Structure 1
Amino acid sequence: MSFYYDNITKSYIRALRGVERPSWAPIEHEIIEVPGSAGGIAVEKKRKVRILYVPVEVRGIGALNLQKVKEDLAKWLIKDGPRNLVFPDEPDRVYYAELTGELNLEEVLDKGKGLLTFICADPFKYGPQLTFTKSASTSGTFTLIMTNPGTVEAYPEFKFLVKKPITHLDIIGPDKYMRIGRPVTVEETIVNPTETILSDTMRTLIGWTNAHNVDGGVISGSFQATENGFRVSNFGTGEAWHGPALQKSVSQPLQDFQVVMQCTFYSPSNDGVGRIELYLLDENGNAFGKLAFKDIHRYEYKQQAEARVGPLFGGTFIIAGQPADPKMFDFFTGILRLKRVKGKWEAYVANISNQHVGEMQGSILDESVSANLAGIKIHAAVSGQNTPAYMTVNHIWVEKVNDLSGAVVPNIAQPGDEIVMDFKKDLILINGEDMKKLKGDFISSFFPIKPGDTALVISPGDAVDVEAKVRGPYH
């Protein structure tokens, strides 16, 4: 037989008799010996790493001689982190394994025999994933029955679609619970943390007017509105940064606010450069803050983000540069956010796939930059005669931040929001953004469910649809 690793199998390899799959992972007890007494006391039981030994035979096939097979084998099996490993005689079980050690083949002509060693840091094997769904009830709670078919406790995953505003969400098990946010008492008032003042999908130029200046460049060319947002139809000409710029007023001046720009930015080839910028404008049209995403490097992919408080000269950068893993920004379709509340500025940038990745964030206290937000300005540009990167401004939000002092409780989610809680990964996401800070209290926990059926109470059950998943673990 052969086997599947990372959902792939190879025709040139087969597993030989002698595959060692222990019935369970090694169990180690910590024993304290009591003086004067026989034996000892077991104080802790620990499951150790599971090790799988797979003797194999490989052979040259077609255009691949044995030496080329070795190269292909390494490309297939050597990964960063565990991958799923499945054996044909147990197709309904999966191990999460990573190759370790080396493979020394006993070579005869175009064949070779050797031993592959896999380690499973997660010592269990898993059955198929099961899904349980339930729609919002007409009452304040509902009970979801989940089945863990395994022989070991399993950590479930939940996805909630919010149907009405909520201040909290509870998942209550037989002896433990998870809570995000908090309920409201009769003496408290529910408040939305923000109020949308502008939500522009950037599908029309109506309402936007010509801007007059940008940082370190000239305004030229024009934008066009598309189904995906504003794109540059013409960058114009210039020796330095040049491209179009437009501005728009907001309906009311804001002291405490949050501005969010969703944009797309990538270089089709490594010689592409460009910048997308969003300026905060005061009541006189002067810029007092900026968000930017750009690539200023020719012949190198190096996308970076900026968030600045104050003017170009004399301002303070809260964010400037790349994330810890720069590749997270290579193909950027994400958000840049700048927020001010009572003189505290917070900036946040993230690429968005299923969840936010490559997050960059920071904050400063700067009460000297106190102008009201009265408008925004957008700008996209290329430098000199360089090849422009692909740039689109997809959506812009301007939100008023409400006062949350006093006897008020904020809503944590609105209709249409998606909440994910992954109990195995200790993860809480709202619309893909990490919101573990909403974990309600120190008693709430990411708890497992026992083998068999478990009744979980969801509250408020009239506010969410739920899709829950579990994969049964086995010894």
Structure 2
Amino acid sequence: MKTDMHFDEEFEVRLDDSLLTDYFYVQDVSGRELANYELDTLAVPGRAGAYLRSKRLQSTPISIKAVMMYDSEEELREAYNELNGLLSSDKPGMMTFSDEPEFSYYVTYAGCDTNDQVRGNQKITLNFFRGDPYKYGLEQTRLFQNDMLQVINDGTADAKPIITVKPLEPITHITLANERGDIMKIGEVPAVDETVTERKTRILTSELATLTGWTAGSSVDNGTIAGQMKVKNDHMWTDDFGTGTGWHGPAVKQSLSESLYDFALEVDLRNIATKREQVGRVEVALLDASNNQVGKVMMQKERQGSWHNRAVIQAGSSAEGWKIINNTGGTETTWHEFDGTMTLRRIGNEWSAYIGKYYNGRHDARDYRTWTDENETFTAPVTQVQVYIAQYADKPVTRLEPYEMLVDRYNANAGGVPYIADANDEVTFDHTINDILINGQSIFHEKFNAEPEKAKSFAATFFPLHQGMNRLYTFPEGKMTTEINYRKRYI
């Protein structure tokens, strides 16, 4: 265990949710002093001195000098192992210090200098890279009132907000503006003589939190039906897979209110392994009136001893269909601990497939593919959806949880000005990374090429919260709720 030392006040360092000073005592911290700048100058022949062309704030690394004190060398090595795990992320983390708890620094661990080890005692210097030269205040959240908001930014630099819009009804555009004339906009304002249309119509919305309206499945692709589907909290699941030598488990299906030719299926689901030896399969299939499979999305962990999940999105059945996506991702962890969205869309003979894995509320790992059914083999209308959760033989099972499903009908030759968001949607304007997301999916991803009405307007900009007073406005008025999140920035 860490040897107790008696300080008047023990100095604490946190990285995200981890208290790093559980492992060491801090002697000194550098990198939080006065800012440094890079000056771009121009010397002119025949003139004394030089002209200043630009001044750029430099990033200053943070270094922590500390001592690790343990009862034995073995305990010291164990502390190293735990620290290496906490510091291994390649994404910037938020570092805070107990002497200024209201401020944070975004850092990435770069390495450690060590010297003077005596048994379980070791002097170290932890070095952190700071690509972002600013420090940040506490996160603040404000709600717009009557489509406007006044925000005072008393930091020493402009702040970059995240603005979240939730429509109260279908809308054709969203516009954000400030008193300086900066605007952010997606969609189009219809003219008085233009028709507003639905490019797609929601046919089914299901949070998969009830079995009401669902009946027993008829057959599944490459598996057998057994056991019983159950509901827990906000999702379908089961602990009763029945028995079988291959893939086996419960399936339930539901009829749609109409037959669909041009459609989109979007499913949120989890397939999470906590041990390498676990396997499991969760899928949602689209069926025709004869219970034949028109297409499906599936996330499957099929190998013991590996963290790989396999993502499959296909047209038709496994025996006669076409796998639009069939991969385990770029690395072993791409689809590992999968909690995300899988989408299958057919418009005419054009098919598209999309996968997005959630990270901090947005899609991080993603894949998108298209396929043209040139022979028009898979054209049967969709009349049913079916959910299937499966175990393989008697192998230990992953956490399998389908928890939301959306089915849309695409309206051919809709014309007019289309809606871009509905009352169930969430549109996020993230000015910190210059991105716009609809339900966690970036509109700049090629998936949205088929929905040009959702594109960012050419003249729109990701404007900041300027120092001083900011007056913000949203349009159309009275048709959405708006929330802003931001951290004041300091040099």
TM-score, L = length of structure 1: 0.85
Question: d(CA) in 1 for partners of 2:399 and 2:122?
Answer: 50
Structure 1 residues 442 and 115: alpha-carbon distance in aligned structure 2, compared to 1, 3 A threshold: same
Question: Does the 8 Å CA contact 2:199/2:414 hold for their aligned counterparts?
Answer: no
Residue in 2 that maps onto 1:350: 356
Deviation at 1:377, TM superposition (A): 3.4
Question: d(CA) in 1 for partners of 2:197 and 2:157?
Answer: 43
Residue in 2 that maps onto 1:15: 27
Q: 1:434 aligns with which of 423, 437, 442?
A: 442
Question: Does the 8 Å CA contact 1:101/1:117 hold for their aligned counterparts?
Answer: yes
Question: d(CA) in 2 for partners of 1:448 and 1:387?
Answer: 50
Question: Does the 8 Å CA contact 2:172/2:419 hold for their aligned counterparts?
Answer: yes
Residues 1:129 and 2:135 are matched in the alignment: no
Letter in 1 for 2:165: F
Structure 1 residues 238 and 429: alpha-carbon distance in aligned structure 2, compared to 1, 3 A threshold: same
Deviation at 1:340, TM superposition (A): 0.9
Q: 2:368 aligns with which of 356, 361, 368?
A: 361
Letter in 2 for 1:84: M
Deviation at 1:218, TM superposition (A): 3.4
Q: How does 1:148-297 map to 2 (within 5 A)?
A: 148-173=153-178, 174-202=180-208, 203-204=210-211, 206-211=213-218, 213-224=219-230, 228-232=234-238, 234-267=240-273, 269-297=275-303
Deviation at 1:380, TM superposition (A): 3.1
Letter in 1 for 2:421: A
| Secondary structure of 2:333's aligned partner | helix
Question: d(CA) in 2 for partners of 1:19 and 1:389?
Answer: 45
Question: Does the 8 Å CA contact 2:197/2:414 hold for their aligned counterparts?
Answer: no
Per-residue CA shift, 1:247-281, capped at 9, x if unaligned? Answer: 44322221111123333333454333232333322
Residue in 2 that maps onto 1:5: 14
Question: d(CA) in 1 for partners of 2:144 and 2:289?
Answer: 50
Structure 1 residues 325 and 358: alpha-carbon distance in aligned structure 2, compared to 1, 3 A threshold: farther
Structure 1 residues 260 and 4: alpha-carbon distance in aligned structure 2, compared to 1, 3 A threshold: same
Residue in 1 that maps onto 2:470: 454
Question: Does the 8 Å CA contact 1:266/1:391 hold for their aligned counterparts?
Answer: yes
Structure 1 residues 186 and 379: alpha-carbon distance in aligned structure 2, compared to 1, 3 A threshold: same
Letter in 1 for 2:176: I
Per-residue CA shift, 1:31-69, capped at 9, x if unaligned? Answer: 344455555544443322213455x35252556789559
Q: 2:305 aligns with which of 294, 299, 303?
A: 299
Question: d(CA) in 2 for partners of 1:9 and 1:266?
Answer: 28
Question: d(CA) in 1 for partners of 2:140 and 2:256?
Answer: 48
Per-residue CA shift, 1:366-411, capped at 9, x if unaligned? Answer: 25122222223333333333334343443433221123553x2222
Question: d(CA) in 1 for partners of 2:87 and 2:356?
Answer: 31
Residue in 1 that maps onto 2:423: 415
Residues 1:383 and 2:395 are matched in the alignment: no
Letter in 2 for 1:158: I
Deviation at 1:365, TM superposition (A): 2.0
Structure 1 residues 57 and 386: alpha-carbon distance in aligned structure 2, compared to 1, 3 A threshold: closer
Q: 2:433 aligns with which of 412, 421, 425?
A: 425
In the alignment, structure 2 segments of 5+ residues that lack a partner are 1-9, 449-453
| Secondary structure of 1:10's aligned partner | helix
* 185-194 or 65-74, which deviates more: 65-74
Residue in 1 that maps onto 2:411: 402
Question: d(CA) in 1 for partners of 2:119 and 2:111?
Answer: 24
Percent identity (aligned): 26
Question: Does the 8 Å CA contact 2:73/2:120 hold for their aligned counterparts?
Answer: no
Question: d(CA) in 1 for partners of 2:353 and 2:372?
Answer: 12
Deviation at 1:306, TM superposition (A): 0.7
Question: Does the 8 Å CA contact 1:21/1:53 hold for their aligned counterparts?
Answer: no
Question: d(CA) in 2 for partners of 1:331 and 1:184?
Answer: 43
Per-residue CA shift, 1:112-171, capped at 9, x if unaligned? Answer: 656544432111222333332224x2xxxx331112111112211212232222211111
Structure 1 residues 456 and 259: alpha-carbon distance in aligned structure 2, compared to 1, 3 A threshold: same
Per-residue CA shift, 1:74-133, capped at 9, x if unaligned? Answer: 666665343333444444333223344542334678766565444321112223333322
Question: d(CA) in 2 for partners of 1:65 and 1:10?
Answer: 19
Residue in 2 that maps onto 1:464: 480
Query: How many pairs were matched up?
Result: 465
User: How well do the aligned residues superpose, as a CA RMSD in angstroms?
Assistant: 3.2
| Secondary structure of 1:159's aligned partner | strand
| Secondary structure of 2:329's aligned partner | coil
Residue in 2 that maps onto 1:47: 57
Question: d(CA) in 1 for partners of 2:171 and 2:12?
Answer: 48
Deviation at 1:204, TM superposition (A): 2.2
Q: 1:104 aligns with which of 90, 114, 123?
A: 114
Letter in 2 for 1:447: F
TM-score, L = length of structure 2: 0.83
Letter in 2 for 1:163: L
* 363-372 or 30-39, which deviates more: 30-39
* 177-186 or 236-245, which deviates more: 236-245
Structure 1 residues 99 and 373: alpha-carbon distance in aligned structure 2, compared to 1, 3 A threshold: closer
